[in-house]
Amino acid sequence: MTLEVFSEERSGVKTARVTVGGMTGSGKTTLAAALAKLMAPPERWIVIDPVGALGAKLGMDYYKVTAREPERCEKIIRRYYSESERTGSGYLWLIDEMDLLCSSRDYCCDALYELVNQGRNFGNGVVALTRGTNELPKNFIRASSIVFWSQTVEVNQLEYLTEFCQDNKGTDYEAILRNLPPHWFLCWEPRTGGGLRGYVMVDKEGDLCEMELTEAELTKALTGGEIHTTSSPTESTRSIPPPK
């Protein structure tokens, strides 16, 4: 079941560290908004958005910071993160364009590093959106609780992703990633070695459903054909109820 990873919770915030990746227009922002509703009540959301797309989608105030403003980023994150350290009651951090706040070597400030790598110890959850892998610290995706990744054709990203998307069946995940339908995301659990957790689809209304690829659709993807699926959401799970 794809969404079981969100079971860990403290003070109403699910403390998973989630990466949502894919090309512009792939549905990342819509998926992140759907996940946010599953993971924490809106009063516990903190939105960091260098561009403004996620803040607008959520209808929330947001902090507009970039890697060129490390001191300001440090101050904003530290304010709330220090509170969670003191109280053990954290926040759900929704960070858009994560690749604009990092480099392949480091994070733009110490507070962001601590939040991403240690935040769950103090009740914080993180949903980080990124268009690519090149500007993320080396172990960022591998240390995520779960990764949602949409269709991608960029060679370096495919190499990076398929390096850890492997199973004992020899499945060609590069072909699947190249041919996912619009607004579909492959879900992978890298940190515990859990592997493929399935697929989710998010529609224009922001409804999140767990999906299945039929054998015929999977075969088509593996032979280089684009998937035009008619699959329905699985009955095993639709979504996790929002926190009360």
Asked if the structure places residue 211 within a domain, the reply is no
Share of the chain above pLDDT 90, in %: 32
pLDDT at 243: 33
166 pLDDT more than 90? no
With CA atoms as reference, report the closest residue to 91 among 155, 50, 42, 28: 42
The per-residue pLDDT for 168 is: 67
Please indicate, yes or no, if residue 241 is contained in any of the structural domains.
no
Write down the pLDDT at residue 84.
94
* pLDDT band for position 146 (cuts 50, 70, 90): confident
**Residue 229: inside a domain:** no
Kindly state whether residue 157 falls inside one of the protein's structural domains.
Answer: yes
Residue 236 has pLDDT above 50, yes or no: no
State the distance between the two ends of the chain, measured CA to CA, in whole angstroms: 22
Range of the domain at 126: 7-170+181-205
243 within some domain: no
Number of domains forming the structure of the chain: 1
Residue 139's pLDDT band (cuts 50, 70, 90): confident
User: Which among 88, 70, 91, 71 is positioned nearest to 80, based on CA atoms?
Assistant: 91
CA–CA dist 145, 138 (Å, integer): 16
Distances (CA, A) of 60 to 46, 52, 171, 173, 188: 9, 10, 40, 36, 29
How far lies 193's CA from each of 104, 108, 115, 186, 190, in Å? Answer: 23, 29, 23, 15, 5
Instruction: Report the C-alpha gap between 126 and 117 in whole angstroms.
Output: 10
Any domain includes 118: yes
Confirm whether 221 is domain-assigned: no
SS3 content of the chain, % helix, strand, coil (to 5): 35, 20, 45
The mean per-residue pLDDT over the stretch 213-220 comes to 54
Query: Residues with Cβ < 8 Å from 114, sequence gap 6 or more?
Result: 81
3-state secondary structure (DSSP) of residue 148: strand
Q: Which is more confidently placed, 117 or 165?
A: 117
pLDDT at 220 over 60: no
Residue spans of alpha helices (H) in 96-236: 110-118, 155-164, 173-179, 215-222
The residue-averaged pLDDT of 129-145 equals 82
pLDDT of residue 222 exceeding 60:
no
Query: Domain holding 11: CATH number?
Result: 3.40.50.300
Sign of CA dihedral 144, 146, 151, 156: positive
pLDDT digits (tens, 9 = 90+) for 101-125: 988 788 999 999 999 999 999 999 9
